[in-house]
Copies of this chain bind each other. A is one copy, B any other.
Amino acid sequence: MRDVARMAGVSLSTVSRVVGGQQVAPDMAERVRRAVELLGYRHDAVAGNLRSSNRASSSIGLIVEDVSNPFFAAIHRGAEDAARERAVVTFAGSSDEQPERERQISEAFLARRVDGLVIAPASTDHGYLVRDVDAGVAIVFVDRPPRFIDADAVVTDNVGGARAAVAHLLEAGHRRIAFVGDDPEIFTAAQRLEGYRLALSEAGIPADPALIRHVSFRAVDAADVLDALLGGPAPPTALFTAQNLITVETMRRLHELGLQRSLAHVGFDDVPLADGVEPGVTVVAQDPYAMGRRAAELLFSRLDGEGGPSRRVVLPATLVERGSGRIPPS
């Protein structure tokens, strides 16, 4: 910037004003712009921010389990689009469901002075963020609510969605419905299991522990879990798979076994091609793009000074019927 000032024969202040779009005499501004062009000057937004009063970096950080999981990738895009409307740039990182890693990524983003963080939490304790919240960083949780910290959150109605999924299978006459989900340590998995239990109890059907299974490595375990369920003494006639990767792997295995027309199946989360197979796979769909967008919007509203108690936005999960849920018990 100094070089630009020298070349244009003006002061640093003037260059700063031209770059910042403030009032400057047209001829001077023109001289400055020419110098900028000639010297290939690139503004340093980071240095600029240091001295500026509001100290906004116009950047936010997004932390999800895995940026390459389609569900989180859609959240990412939603948040990016909301950020972009405000000329805010987005950091993204994958926690792989590891609290330690989530924390490292958070701190790396915070050290770079992001204005806010959108977090799909892996940690169970977000106390480490309070000092940043106190310092004015806006934090919004998405997909799962925070713990040990008061903050805005955007979540899906997991209980209601799971309940609707299982109710749909019950309607088709099923009484032996298996639950295949993530470890119940994961908030959404626990909630979906609760919805499953709720639907059963409403129908007066006792939950059979043998039909409730948890996978550790989704794409890897899901087929084995299915095989185990089917090989048991009293196999299920219907499946509720409570996570997108589990649903995909279960679909794959059902087709492999040629059972896709004889076992009813409903998944939580929409998956690509669920409507491209025969029969189409019924799901309760979340709207991850909307979740990401809403989360970022909430974040910006806080940055804009909106006070008040923390807000919880609950988005519905809607049943998308495609056929697989109407297969009758065999």
- Give A residues with C-beta under 8 Å from B: 40, 42-47, 49-50, 57, 59, 66-70, 73-74, 76-77, 80, 84, 87, 89-94, 105, 108-113, 131-132, 134-135, 248, 251-252, 255-256, 271-273, 275-278, 289
Query: Which residues of the other chain, B, contact A108 by a CB distance below 8 angstroms?
Result: 87, 89
A47 touches B44 (CB 8 A): no
Shortest CB distance A245–B (Å): 9
Query: Which residues of the other chain, B, contact A91 by a CB distance below 8 angstroms?
Result: 59, 89-92
Contact of A276 among B74, B109, B251 (CB under 8 A): B251
Q: Within the assembled complex, what's the spacing in Å between the Cα atoms of A50 and B51?
A: 12
A67 touches B77 (CB 8 A): yes
Q: Within the assembled complex, what's the spacing in Å between the Cα atoms of A47 and B44?
A: 12
B248 touches A276 (CB 8 A): yes
A42 touches B93 (CB 8 A): no
Query: Which residues of the other chain, B, contact A67 by a CB distance below 8 angstroms?
Result: 67, 73, 76-77, 80, 92
Query: Which residues of the other chain, B, contact A50 by a CB distance below 8 angstroms?
Result: 46-47, 50
Q: Considering the complex, give the chain B residue whose CB is closest to the CB of A88.
A: B108
Q: Which of A80, A248, A256 has the most CB of B within 10 A?
A: A80
Q: With A111-B42, A277-B255 given, is the CB distance from A90 to B93 under 8 Å?
A: yes
B73 touches A111 (CB 8 A): no
Q: With A68-B70, A248-B272 given, is the CB distance from A110 to B42 under 8 Å?
A: yes
